[in-house]
Structure 1
């Protein structure tokens, strides 16, 4: 088999039988040492990779980037339609809190594994190292394609959602009662999407060294903007406020599903906002101490996001206008209408929406950066057609420019779906959540059913809580993947049907076709400890 690096039948033993200090057993490198800051690159080399990216991020900067990837106020704002239709206030508040608690378990599970295998390959590298020699290539191939597709489609969903959100924000100004100043035709939305996509790629590529500072500034911008919204809508509340009983106990399903299932479908709101949890793993090779910093950042960010989400959502529900009116909005973006109703003026509403608009772009930049890194990492291991181009790192910019451009082109091509269906955003967000959820589940499942023996001596081992977290994470994955294939409303029409399954199947066909055409004979998987650094 040309180009395939031979895998030792005993490699699984060596992968799991590490000595803690990075000794050598039977001629094989053992668990890489993490004893010092400069050891991160040595550790990466022991994992089989040549360091190519500069390590500039601290624990807080990783957490801040992860926070920006989620951009909770923005992410919750653009998908507010789902819980409004699914169950109203109960779906918005308790759906968010419930999913967030589950995602803490997902983050903790990924953090444990990342502390052992901190590379830009993220979950697909982890799946390869954890699986048995017989199945490791297939496991990493499937996981890698899911991870790359998830990263790219979530980035697409963010940028396309931003375009739709921008149109809705602009249309708080009306040319006449009930008619916004921007028609929001398909070509207009697509052109705005193109502009946002180009902007995110330009900033991510040319301003790479400034991105940690941008992420830090985004934290203060986010909380400043959220506080402005919270205080303003509650103080002004032009059309009054609901009582606490309405906010925390009122259930109103308008999706056409039965009440229980309607609530479940509405969880796409929280699922989408938290789907980026594991994307920050792709930044491991730009972090000073990835084995400890990235796992801590994963868990810390979810906790921070949970609080930020509640701070944002609860005041909005207190001033919620008629739900039927909101779910029937032509633009599918209720939050601008909620804020305008509370403020009573277009100017006041736009002023409060502006921080969310900026945050949306920052989120797009963060997702663009993470997507380019995971695409580059997968190409580095030869799993993407044309890998020799996509694995190149621009020496002047210190970024994987070719991989970034590939990701951008794929997003633009998929964005053309919007001309055929206004429900395209549902497909982008749905397939992103499904793909990322599945990619997270694979290494967690292999780790759990393999007895978690690779975690012995790791710097982020949660012990018995880790087992509990693994079980919760896998249960959520089993529920979320089919759940987010469902349409928001039934009976479904061509305009409201969820096209996520179609996009997901298409991605699987491309991945499967390329595996049998090329990967089965040529794909060796990531380098293991017994392979030389290339």
Structure 2
């Protein structure tokens, strides 16, 4: 029997074991009858155990558009300039950035291979369960899923915070009498994320067009800003009391945060046509193009900056705007700085789109409290609107950290290390335990899988302890200079694991199929065709009565 055999003009059968994927329902000689003709993408997602609930309005380029918007090179660099420039000076934003890219690209390549094999919204979490030893698939997928979700749920509020900070810094440039207040930044960030939540709740086709437009703006504004910046001066290096080598390693946190969005195509795979090929291509394009353009852009900053110390410690409180203020007239600062703020806004709603798909997909398998609400797809927009607004509420609460001063920096650090830990788990399983059982998709690395995988995993292993190091050590490290990542991320992960062993292990067993109701699963095609016919006759009889 073929992969999807027509029964009637409006019916199809998918023979799961004939689809070249390993899934939660494969290996049981299972056949699925649906009441319409299915294409290749729907055949694959059905074989992976899920109903086709989204419209596939994303192409390779619109998927790349979402990912590139999540990457948001200009606003990402502008928001994290403190974390690279302050700890390692020009070395941090140039060679430190380039070394970070070299470590990240292998991670992206292996993740792309996995995305081709498992093109579902669950992404990292689903792949981890499929690649794990059966005994440990629940706990390993739980850890990978929660780590990825912590990164997703902190993404939009951290970018929104960066956007608000830039707007208020520009306000201070335009009006020297303006006095910054923390509550100004909080309310502005809440307003930005609220509007972005509305955009993220729109139908998929609208979102695709909006993100494609924002990607064009990303490249255009990046190029214009780069041209205007090439007119600068001197430099100064390591501003911490760590050795130079350690300072460069600390600067990697900025490139990790800047480039972590390359996994976004994975989470919208169920909305993408030709997903097994377009999704991995979009992952690789995002990491490589983003890394290359980011390096060239930061070279321009390194070449033109006049005074690193003043940029980092300027009363404006935003190093990128302070840097622009060193090399440009006020009108140009307002114009070029506005580019970064506009792109930070578009990056915020792109992050919300990705985060909502993660919450939706994990909730299908009862990973979260009140999962039945977050796994619903709105019948009008065909998008997970409930998940969008649940993430917004959590983000508003997280933003209260800004009243704790330096503690707000932890949401940036979570966005640096949490995704790479979640990426590394399925990659490590792929090149070790599952090396002989993994079924590669049409896009794969072939014999280069293992070399790339080990390089990527070793890089992440190096960065895990680096993520908790503060900028200053010993007596120089005070409470207001503490790196709170160990509390915000590692503390949260500890609670998630404790919850699993205390209660969740009783109900959570890993990904589960949601193919129920109108879609019937069985082994005997004739039997399930008969059941469908009987159901249709019964429904018709009820309508007549």
TM-score w.r.t. length of structure 2:
0.86
User: Is the contact made by 1:112 and 1:462 (CA closer than 8 Å) also made in structure 2?
Assistant: yes
Displacement, 1:493? 2.2
Displacement, 1:530? 11
Partner of 2:229: 233
Of 467-476 and 503-512, the range deviating more from structure 2: 503-512
Partner of 1:426: 409
Partner of 2:72: 71
* 3-state SS in 1 of match to 2:480: coil
C-alpha distance in 1 between matches for 2:226 and 2:60: 29
Q: Within the alignment, does 1:107 sit opposite 2:91 as a pair?
A: no
Displacement, 1:456? 4.6
Displacement, 1:21? 8.6
Displacement, 1:79? 0.8
Partner of 1:339: 324
Partner of 2:11: none
* 3-state SS in 2 of match to 1:28: coil
Q: Within the alignment, does 1:198 sit opposite 2:194 as a pair?
A: yes
Partner of 1:265: 250
Aligned residues: CA RMSD? 2.5
Q: 1:220 to 1:492 in 2, by over 3 A?
A: same
Q: Within the alignment, does 1:307 sit opposite 2:292 as a pair?
A: yes
Give the alignment of 1:451-470 within 5 angstroms: 451-456=434-439, 458-470=441-453
Partner of 2:218: 222
Q: Within the alignment, does 1:442 sit opposite 2:448 as a pair?
A: no
Bigger Rg, structure 1 or 2: 2
Give the alignment of 1:293-442 within 5 angstroms: 293-343=278-328, 345-420=329-404, 422-442=405-425
C-alpha distance in 2 between matches for 1:492 and 1:53: 50
Q: 1:206 to 1:22 in 2, by over 3 A?
A: closer
Q: 1:528 to 1:116 in 2, by over 3 A?
A: farther
C-alpha distance in 2 between matches for 1:457 and 1:191: 47
Displacement, 1:411? 0.9
C-alpha distance in 1 between matches for 2:157 and 2:462: 24
Question: Tell me, which stretches of 5 or more residues in structure 1 are unaligned?
Answer: 1-16, 31-35, 176-180
Q: Deviations over 1:175-202 (max 9, x none)?
A: 2xxxxx4322111110111011101101
Partner of 1:11: none
Give the alignment of 1:465-504 within 5 angstroms: 465-490=448-473, 491-504=476-489
C-alpha distance in 1 between matches for 2:38 and 2:167: 43
C-alpha distance in 1 between matches for 2:196 and 2:267: 18
C-alpha distance in 2 between matches for 1:27 and 1:189: 55
Question: Tell me, which stretches of 5 or more residues in structure 2 are unaligned?
Answer: 1-16, 32-36, 522-545
Displacement, 1:208? 4.1
User: Is the contact made by 2:154 and 2:415 (CA closer than 8 Å) also made in structure 1?
Assistant: yes
Q: 1:94 to 1:22 in 2, by over 3 A?
A: closer
User: Is the contact made by 2:269 and 2:275 (CA closer than 8 Å) also made in structure 1?
Assistant: yes
* 3-state SS in 2 of match to 1:227: helix
C-alpha distance in 2 between matches for 1:85 and 1:25: 52
C-alpha distance in 2 between matches for 1:323 and 1:367: 30
Of 201-210 and 522-531, the range deviating more from structure 2: 522-531
C-alpha distance in 2 between matches for 1:404 and 1:214: 17
Q: Within the alignment, does 1:135 sit opposite 2:131 as a pair?
A: no
Structure 1 segments (4+ residues) deviating >4 Å: 21-26, 454-457, 528-534
Q: Which residue of the other structure, out of 258, 266, 272, is the alignment partner of 1:287?
A: 272
Displacement, 1:457? 5.1
Q: Deviations over 1:148-173 (max 9, x none)?
A: 11111122211122222222222222
TM-score w.r.t. length of structure 1:
0.87
Q: Deviations over 1:419-455 (max 9, x none)?
A: 12x2133200111222111111110111111252344
User: Is the contact made by 1:73 and 1:308 (CA closer than 8 Å) also made in structure 2?
Assistant: no
Displacement, 1:205? 0.8
User: Is the contact made by 1:59 and 1:297 (CA closer than 8 Å) also made in structure 2?
Assistant: yes
Q: Deviations over 1:65-124 (max 9, x none)?
A: 111111111101111112222221121111111111222111111111111111100101
Partner of 2:526: none
* 3-state SS in 1 of match to 2:268: helix
Displacement, 1:354? 1.3
C-alpha distance in 1 between matches for 2:26 and 2:97: 48
C-alpha distance in 2 between matches for 1:153 and 1:398: 24
Q: Deviations over 1:484-506 (max 9, x none)?
A: 11223442222221111101133
Displacement, 1:46? 1.0
Q: Within the alignment, does 1:185 sit opposite 2:181 as a pair?
A: yes
User: Is the contact made by 2:83 and 2:254 (CA closer than 8 Å) also made in structure 1?
Assistant: yes
Of 346-355 and 189-198, the range deviating more from structure 2: 346-355
Q: Which residue of the other structure, out of 227, 239, 242, is the alignment partner of 1:254?
A: 239
Partner of 1:275: 260
Partner of 1:10: none
